[in-house]
Amino acid sequence: MTTTPIIHIPASAHPWSIVYATAKTVDPDSWLLTGGLMVQLHAMMGGLDVRPTTDADLLADLMSDRRGINEIRNVLSRYGFTARTGTLTGYTTRLVAPNGNVVDLLVADHLPKHLHGDAKLSGSPILPMPGGAQAIERSMHVTIADHGKSVLIRIPDLLGALILKSAAWSADRAGFESRHLRDAAMLASLIDDPDAEVSRLHSTTDRRRLRVLRDQLTEDSEYWDGLDDRHRRNGLDTIETLAAW
């Protein structure tokens, strides 16, 4: 039986405050925490330093709950968040509070057509997250807690997060490519048994995304800087093993 990790995180400040609020109201199986906060959680579970982030990225799992977008938006609206229409070309994804706090609400890529009507915010389509479908498939539960308060959330597991970062690097047009690769290096360094993870790979897209990481995260790459030698070697072995599949 898998034990759900418990991570102690202050609930008072953004962006974690909105994660607590969402998890308190919305079924954890209808959405995932992704982006920088996902990376922070994996770093905390692995005993590594965290990268600061000020935004929350929420991935609605419409295959589990078609009402997910509306339920999340209802929570956010109680905290003053409103949709910024057309934040990204042709899509509405970003919600902003009066104090400038930001939440990005996304859906999985490759949604079936019958769910397209549910993947909208303020009448506009929501941006599909590259790698989002596989991240939903490869997910895990985590409990976050603070002073007697605790909520259950769902995040991509290490393999799902690693492939998600490769997909983000390939799709990035906003200048965050280095951040995605540094995150991927850290995530790879926490996978202790890459041979076991190979059995969970099943598509040509998985193969392509992992080979992208192998090509970018070479042994002399700067993206391993900041990791100790053990984690660096672990990460290199993980990337090589997975990309050889």
Inform me whether the pLDDT recorded for 177 exceeds 70: yes
β-strand partners of 211: none
**Where, residue-wise, is CATH 3.30.460 in the chain?**
1-156
* CATH code given to domain 1-156: 3.30.460
Cα–Cα distance between 239 and 244 in angstroms, integer? 8
pTM of the model: 0.95
Instruction: Return the pLDDT at 122.
Output: 87
| Of 3 and 156, more confident | 156
Instruction: Return the pLDDT at 1.
Output: 58
Q: What is the pLDDT of residues 146-175, one digit of tens each?
A: 999 999 999 999 999 999 999 999 998 667
